[in-house]
Amino acid sequence: MLAATNRFDLARIAQFPALYGTLVGLIALIVLLLCVGKVPLAYNVRNLIVRWRTSLMMVIAFILVVGLMTMMMAFVNGMIALTANSGQPGNVVVFSGGANDEGFSNLALTEVTNVERTEGIAVNAEGQRLASKEVYVIANQDVPVGPGQKPRRAFVQVRGLEDPLITSTVHNLRLKPGGLWFSAAGVEEATSPDVPGGAYVQAVVGNGIAGELGMSSPEKRPLVVGETFFMADRLWKIVGILDSTGSTYDSEVWAKRQIVAERFGKDVYSSFVVRATEIDQAEKLAETLKDSKEVALTAMTEEQYFVNLQATSRVLLYAVLLVAVIMAVGGIFGVMNTMFAAISQRIKDIGVLRILGYARGHVLISFLLESMILALVGGIAGCFVGMLVDGWTAKSTVGSGPGAAKLVVLQFVVSQEVLAGGLVLALVMGLIGGLLPALRAMRMRVLETLR
Amino acid sequence: MFQLTRLIIKNLRRNVLRTVLTALGTMVLVLAVTSVWSVLDFIDNQTADKANDFKILISDKNNAQGRLPRSYMESMRRGAARGSDDVVPDDYMTWAFYGGTLDPTKSSRENFLFLIACEPEKAPTMLDDLDQLGTADTARLNAAIEKMRKQPNGIIMGHEQLKLMNKEVGGRITVNGLTFKGLNLEFEIVDTFPKSAQRYGQTSIMNIEYLFQGIDEYDAKNKTKLASGVAPIAFEMLKVKNRQDYERLAAQIVNSPLYTSPAVRCESGGSAVSTFLASWKDIFWGMRWLLSPAILVTLSLVIANAISISVRERHQEIAVLKVLGFRPGQVMFLILGEAMLIGMVSGLISAGFTILFVNKFVGGIPIPIAWFDRFFIPQVALLWGLGIGGVTAFLGSILPAWSARGVRVADVFAKVT
C-alpha cells in the first residue's frame, strides 16, 4: 500500500524500494543514453518541434494517462490515510464474539460490565478506566427535496457514547475551539415550542459530516456550532466539532448513548475501545479480553482493526492499477505508431547519420531518447495536472468485507509515491513504445535508406 | 461508393504495421471503456425503477440497520390495505438477514455466511433477474425451492460462496449467529443458484419461518427473549403494477396507525438502492465524467495521430487522386472511411473479446461495490464497441481528413522534382 501523506520525505524512499528503484533506473537509463549517445540531442528536439502536431498529441495522451492515474491513486491514498490515521497505538477494540466489525457486534449492556475492569486497561488522573463504551448506528436522514421530486434520504453514522471525555481521550480527539462536549443528559431544553419533543439532542460532529449535513441546507456550507439539523424526528444541535484528524470519526455524529439507543432502538453496545497501560501491552490486553470466560468477545488492536478496513482500498488500488495498465498499453501502441512514422519520415536522415560514421547503436539510442523525452515531458505535465486534486474531498466507503463498511468523507492525497508512480508509468510507456521502432531504425542498411 | 470502399481497404493494407498498431490501441482502450460502462450501466439499471414491475421497500424510518417486529408482517404483506378501495400489492417478500460464522473463534471470509431469510417460493418472482433464467435453470431452481419447503433448514447457496467455504451440496453446517447473537442454527445446503444467475454467486437464502422458529425455540428454552429476535425483519418488499399504485400504497402504509413503534418508511426499490450506493456516488461520478472521457480522448488522440501521419505521408497521392478527378469531399470520405473502418472493426472485435474474456474466462469484473461483488459485460457492449470505435475515429480523423480535402495539387507538384 502507499504512504498516505503529501509531505515530501526522502526517508520514505526506503519504504518503497521497487517503485523508487524503477524510477531511478529509468532516469539513470536516460542519463546513460545521453552520455553514451553520439547523435546530438538537439537533432531529436528539433525533429520533435518540426513534427509539433504529432508530438503535442502524444504529450497530451501522456498527460491524460498519467494525470488520470495520479488522480485515481490520490483517491485511494485518501482512503488509506483515513484508516491509517484512525487507529491509536495502545488501543484495543472489543466486539461480540465472532464479529469483526461494529455493524455485526451486539454487546448486551449487562453482560459486559466486567470488561472495563480487565487488568491491563489504563486509568486516567481521576481514576477512571480508559474504556470507551460505544453504540454505532447508521441513521436515515430525510434530504429536503423540491416540489414534485422523489423523496430522498441519506445515511448518517451516529455513535452513542457513555462519556465523551473518556472517548475523546481514548481516541485522542479534541474539539475545535468554541465547541463543548455534550452534557451528561445529552439534551438541551428548547425555548421555541416548534422544537419536536421540546428539546434539542446535543451532538458533536466530525468535520466531514458537518460539510455533508450543510450541503442539504439552503446556504450550502458546512454547519457550525450552534446550528441544528433534523434527524430521527428530532432537532440535533451541534455543540462541538471534532478537530479534523483525517480519521473515519470525521464522518460521524456523536451523541449520548441513551439518546441514540432510544431514537434508533439499539439498546446495546456495539464496541468497547480500551487503552492499554503501555502501547506494547495492547496485544496482550487483546488476548486477555479474547479469553474472557464471562462473555465471548472478539478483541484486536485498533491499528489492526483499521488495517482490516483497508480491504476496500486495496481492491480499488488494484482496479486503479489495472485501468492504468490498460490505458498505458493503449498509449504504448500510440507511441509506437508515432515513432514508426517518425522513422519512416527520416529514413534518409538515418542513412546520412550512418554515412557520417554514427554506429547502429547510436541510431538506436537517438530514437529511444526521443521517445523517452516525449514521455518524460508528458509524464511531468501529467503529474502537475494530477496534483490539482490534492486536498479535494469525496465521499466513499472503507470496509473489511460484506456488510462491514464505514461511510467516509476523504481528502485526495497526492503523495510523492503517487507522483513517482505516474512518472514510472510514463517512462515505461516511452521506453516500450520507442524500443521497437528504434530497433527497426538501428537495423536499417545504409544503401536501403538512401535508395 | 464501392470503388471508394475498395480504395479504403487497399490503403489500410498498404501500411499493415500502422493499421495493426492503431487497431490494437483502439481494442485495448475500448476494452477499458466497455468495462467501465458495464459497471455504470448495471448500477444505473439497479437505481432505476422499472415502469412495470414496481418494487417497494418498507423499512425502519430512522435506523438504516433497524428491524421491524413480526407483528407488522401480515399487514405489510397486504400493503396495510383496510378498505376495498385500497391498493393491494401483487406480490411480496419478507426479508431478514441472518449472518454468522462457522467458527466463532476464527473470523474469516471462509467462515462467514450471510443469508437472506425470506419466503423461498417468492424468490423467482421477487429477486431480480431470476425470472430471466432458461427453462432448465428455472426447473432446477424450482426443485431446490421445493426441497426448502419440505425441509425448513434447507438453504440455497451461491456457487462462489459454496466454493469459498469449501462445502458441497448436501452438506450440513452450523452457523453461530452474529446478526442474531446467541441464535445458532443448523442448515443443509440443498442446492446452489444456477450459474447463469451470475449475480447470485455469493448470495444464499434460507426459510424465514425457520429463523422465526429458531427465535421462538431460543425464547422458550432460555425463558427470556432473544434481544435481536424481538424485531427480526429487515424490510418488506412489495410489488405493484405501476408508479401510481406505488404512490397510493406508500401513502397507505406511511399513514397507517399500525406502524408507529418503530415508524416505517416506504420507498421504491430504485430509490433504496440509490441511498445505499450514495457513498459510491463520487466514485461513479469520477468513472463517468473523468475516467471514461479521458480514455475516449486518449483513443481519439491515438487514432488522430495515426491518421494525420498517414495524411502527411500521402500528400502526393492525394494530389494524384485529385488530378484523376476525385472531389475534395471524396478525398475526405476516403480518409474518414479509413479511420472509421479501423475504429469500428477493432471496437467491435474488442467488445466481443471483452464479453467473452470477462464473462466466461474471468467470471466478471471483481469489484465489490455495496452488495454487488462482480460485474458482467452486457451483450449491448457490442454496440458500444462499434459506437466508441466509430465515433472516436471520426472525431480523431476529422481534422486530418479536412486537411487532406484541402491539399492543393499545384502546391504538391511544385515541390516534386
Which of residues A275, A302, A328 is at a domain's end?
Answer: A275
- Between the CA atoms of B308, B309, B312 and B317, what dihedral angle is there, to the nearest 10 degrees? -100
Cell of A444: 536499417
- The reply to whether A244 and A319 lie within a common domain is no
- The reply to whether B106 and B246 lie within a common domain is yes
- The reply to whether B239 and B306 lie within a common domain is no
Angle at CA of residue A3, ends A2 and A7, nearest 5°: 140
Q: Which of A233, A338, A401 sits opposite B62 (nearest CB)?
A: A233
User: How high does pLDDT run on average in chain A?
Assistant: 89
**Contact (Cβ atoms closer than 8 angstroms) between residue A446 and residue A357:** no
**Residue B259, pLDDT score:** 94
The answer on pLDDT for A401 being more than 70 is no
Domain-embedded: residue A289: no
Which of residues B234, B261, B288 is at a domain's end?
Answer: B261
Cβ-in-10-Å burial (0-12, 13-18, 19+) of A220 comes to exposed
- What tens digit of pLDDT does each residue of A66-80 get? 999 999 999 989 888
- The reply to whether B348 and B411 lie within a common domain is yes
The answer on pLDDT for B244 being more than 70 is yes
Domain-embedded: residue A237: yes
Q: Are the Cβ atoms of B18 and A396 closer than 8 angstroms?
A: no
State whether residue A180 sits within 8 Å of chain B by CB.
no
- The reply to whether A157 and A269 lie within a common domain is yes
In angstroms, the separation between the Cα of residue B46 and the nearest Cα of chain A is 16
Q: Are the Cβ atoms of A402 and B178 closer than 8 angstroms?
A: no
B31 contacts in chain A (CB < 8 Å): 326
- The reply to whether B294 and B386 lie within a common domain is yes
Residue, of A148 and B312, whose pLDDT is higher: B312
A106 contacts in chain B (CB < 8 Å): 181, 227-228
- Residues of chain A numbered 75-94 and touching chain B (CB < 8 Å): 75
Q: Are the Cβ atoms of B22 and A266 closer than 8 angstroms?
A: no
Concatenated DSSP letters for B166-221?
A: T--TT-EEEEEETTTTT-EEEEEEEEE--TTSGGGTT-EEEEHHHHHHHHHHHHHH
The answer on pLDDT for A270 being more than 90 is yes
Distance CA A429, CA A322 (A): 15
Domain-embedded: residue B269: no
**Residue B228, pLDDT score:** 82
For helices B381-405 and B292-313, what crossing angle results, to 10°? Answer: 40
- The reply to whether A330 and A248 lie within a common domain is no
Mutation pick from B34, B253, B295, B298 vs chain A, by most beta carbons of A within 10 Å, is B298
Angle at CA of residue A273, ends A269 and A279, nearest 5°: 165
Q: What is the 3-state composition of chain A as percent helix, strand, coil, each rounded to the nearest 5? A: 50, 20, 30
Query: What secondary structure letter does DSSP report for A251?
Result: G
A153 contacts in chain B (CB < 8 Å): 265, 267, 275
In angstroms, the separation between the Cα of residue B100 and the nearest Cα of chain A is 8
Domain-embedded: residue B275: no
The answer on pLDDT for A262 being more than 70 is yes
- The reply to whether B79 and B190 lie within a common domain is yes
Q: How confident is the model at residue A378 (pLDDT cuts 50, 70, 90)?
A: very high
Site of grid cell 447463469: B196
- The reply to whether A322 and A387 lie within a common domain is yes
**Contact (Cβ atoms closer than 8 angstroms) between residue A241 and residue A220:** no
Domain-embedded: residue A7: no
In angstroms, the separation between the Cα of residue B105 and the nearest Cα of chain A is 6
Q: Which of B290, B299, B301 sits opposite A71 (nearest CB)?
A: B290
Q: How confident is the model at residue A201 (pLDDT cuts 50, 70, 90)?
A: very high
Distance CA A300, CA A400 (A): 14
**Contact (Cβ atoms closer than 8 angstroms) between residue A239 and residue A203:** yes
- HSE-CB of B51 using CA atoms within 13 angstroms: 0
Domain-embedded: residue A98: no
Per-range mean pLDDT, top range of A239-248, A270-279, B176-185: A270-279
Q: Are the Cβ atoms of A337 and B65 closer than 8 angstroms?
A: no
Which of residues B261, B292, B318 is at a domain's end?
Answer: B261
- What tens digit of pLDDT does each residue of B265-322 get? 999 888 888 888 888 888 899 999 999 999 999 999 989 988 988 888 888 889 998 9
Give whole-number Cα distances, B43 to A179, B221, B385, B389, in Å: 41, 45, 20, 24
Domain-embedded: residue A111: no
Strand partners, A397: A407
Termini Cα distance of chain B: 34
The answer on pLDDT for A235 being more than 70 is yes
Domain-embedded: residue A338: yes
* Cβ-Cβ contacts under 8 Å for B52 (sequence gap 6 or more): B241, B242
> Which residue from A319, A310, A369, A382 is spatially nearest to A79, judged by alpha carbons?
A310
Distance CA B96, CA A346 (A): 72
**Residue B61, pLDDT score:** 92
Q: Which domain holds residue B358?
A: 2-46+280-415
The answer on pLDDT for A2 being more than 60 is no
Q: Are the Cβ atoms of A68 and B294 closer than 8 angstroms?
A: yes
* Cβ-Cβ contacts under 8 Å for B3 (sequence gap 6 or more): none
- The reply to whether B257 and B285 lie within a common domain is no
Strand partners, B112: B101
A232 contacts in chain B (CB < 8 Å): 62-63
- What tens digit of pLDDT does each residue of B373-409 get? 788 999 999 999 999 999 999 999 999 999 998 888 8
Q: Are the Cβ atoms of A140 and B28 closer than 8 angstroms?
A: no
> Which residue from B218, B45, B211 is spatially nearest to B119, judged by alpha carbons?
B211
- What tens digit of pLDDT does each residue of A84-141 get? 888 899 999 999 887 888 887 888 888 778 888 889 999 999 999 999 999 999 999 8
Other residues' Cβ atoms within 10 Å of the Cβ of residue B353 = 16
Which of residues B261, B292, B307 is at a domain's end?
Answer: B261
In angstroms, the separation between the Cα of residue B90 and the nearest Cα of chain A is 23
Q: Are the Cβ atoms of B63 and A233 closer than 8 angstroms?
A: no
Q: Which of A71, A396, A401 sits opposite B109 (nearest CB)?
A: A401
Domain-embedded: residue B82: yes
Q: Are the Cβ atoms of B63 and A137 closer than 8 angstroms?
A: yes
Distance CA B139, CA B221 (A): 40
Find the residue in B nearest to A230 (Cα): B62
Distance CA A315, CA B283 (A): 13
- The reply to whether B150 and B239 lie within a common domain is yes
Domain-embedded: residue A286: no
Q: Are the Cβ atoms of B28 and A326 closer than 8 angstroms?
A: yes
The domain tally of chain A equals 2
φ/ψ region of A359 (left if φ > 0, alpha if ψ in -120 to 50, else beta) reads beta
- The reply to whether A251 and A358 lie within a common domain is no
Q: Are the Cβ atoms of A75 and B62 closer than 8 angstroms?
A: no
- The reply to whether A318 and A211 lie within a common domain is no
pLDDT, mean of residues A25-41: 92
**Residue B416, pLDDT score:** 56
Q: Are the Cβ atoms of A57 and B301 closer than 8 angstroms?
A: yes
Q: Are the Cβ atoms of B271 and A150 closer than 8 angstroms?
A: yes
B179 contacts in chain A (CB < 8 Å): 104
- The reply to whether B341 and B402 lie within a common domain is yes
Q: How confident is the model at residue A6 (pLDDT cuts 50, 70, 90)?
A: low
The domain tally of chain B equals 2
- The reply to whether A126 and A260 lie within a common domain is yes
B25 contacts in chain A (CB < 8 Å): 330-331, 333-334, 337
Q: Which of A106, A327, A395 sits opposite B181 (nearest CB)?
A: A106
In angstroms, the separation between the Cα of residue A302 and the nearest Cα of chain B is 16
Strand partners, A203: A238
Q: Are the Cβ atoms of B302 and A331 closer than 8 angstroms?
A: yes
Give whole-number Cα distances, B360 to B35, B195, B379, in Å: 14, 11, 13
- The reply to whether A222 and A320 lie within a common domain is no
Cell of A347: 529514413
- The reply to whether B251 and B300 lie within a common domain is no
Distance CA B319, CA B330 (A): 13
Domain-embedded: residue B388: yes
Q: Are the Cβ atoms of B231 and A323 closer than 8 angstroms?
A: no
> Which residue from A180, A43, A27, A71 is spatially nearest to A418, judged by alpha carbons?
A71
pLDDT, mean of residues B223-227: 87
**Residue A230, pLDDT score:** 93
**Residue B182, pLDDT score:** 87
State whether residue A104 sits within 8 Å of chain B by CB.
yes
Q: Which domain holds residue A194?
A: 122-275
Q: Are the Cβ atoms of A61 and B65 closer than 8 angstroms?
A: no
Which of residues A275, A292, A322 is at a domain's end?
Answer: A275
B114 contacts in chain A (CB < 8 Å): 402-403
Domain-embedded: residue B309: yes
Domain-embedded: residue B234: yes
- The reply to whether A371 and A418 lie within a common domain is yes
Strand partners, B43: none
Note if the bond before A177 is cis, omega within 30 degrees: no
State whether residue A317 sits within 8 Å of chain B by CB.
no
A97 contacts in chain B (CB < 8 Å): 104, 176
Per-range mean pLDDT, top range of A107-116, B49-58, B88-97: B88-97
pLDDT, mean of residues B148-154: 95
**Residue B52, pLDDT score:** 66
The DSSP bridge pattern shows strands A297-301 and A107-108 to be: unpaired
**Residue B415, pLDDT score:** 64
Q: How confident is the model at residue A7 (pLDDT cuts 50, 70, 90)?
A: low
The answer on pLDDT for A39 being more than 80 is yes
- The reply to whether B234 and B332 lie within a common domain is no
Concatenated DSSP letters for A49-75?
A: HHTHHHHHHHHHHHHHHHHHHHHHHHH
**Residue A402, pLDDT score:** 58
The answer on pLDDT for A403 being more than 70 is no
- Residues of chain A numbered 239-268 and touching chain B (CB < 8 Å): 263-266, 268
Within chain A, what is the greatest distance between any pair of CA atoms?
Answer: 98
> Which residue from A183, A181, A175, A244 is spatially nearest to A208, judged by alpha carbons?
A244
Domain-embedded: residue A304: no
Query: What secondary structure letter does DSSP report for B138?
Result: H
* Cβ-Cβ contacts under 8 Å for B248 (sequence gap 6 or more): B86, B87
Q: Are the Cβ atoms of B109 and A408 closer than 8 angstroms?
A: no
pLDDT, mean of residues A436-441: 93
Q: What is the 3-state composition of chain B as percent helix, strand, coil, each rounded to the nearest 5? A: 55, 15, 25
Q: Are the Cβ atoms of B99 and A72 closer than 8 angstroms?
A: no
Domain-embedded: residue B37: yes
pLDDT, mean of residues B151-172: 94
The answer on pLDDT for A4 being more than 60 is no
Which of residues A275, A296, A321 is at a domain's end?
Answer: A275
- The reply to whether B42 and B72 lie within a common domain is no
Q: Are the Cβ atoms of A140 and B104 closer than 8 angstroms?
A: no
Distance CA A163, CA A168 (A): 9
- The reply to whether A181 and A58 lie within a common domain is no
- The reply to whether B241 and B309 lie within a common domain is no
Site of grid cell 483517491: A75
> Which residue from B115, B112, B198 is spatially nearest to B159, judged by alpha carbons?
B198
State whether residue A106 sits within 8 Å of chain B by CB.
yes
Least confident of A396-405, B45-54, B136-145, B154-163: A396-405
Other residues' Cβ atoms within 10 Å of the Cβ of residue B343 = 31
Domain-embedded: residue B191: yes
The answer on pLDDT for A240 being more than 90 is yes
**Residue A51, pLDDT score:** 86
Would you say the C-alpha torsion B392, B397, B402, B405 has a positive or negative sign? negative
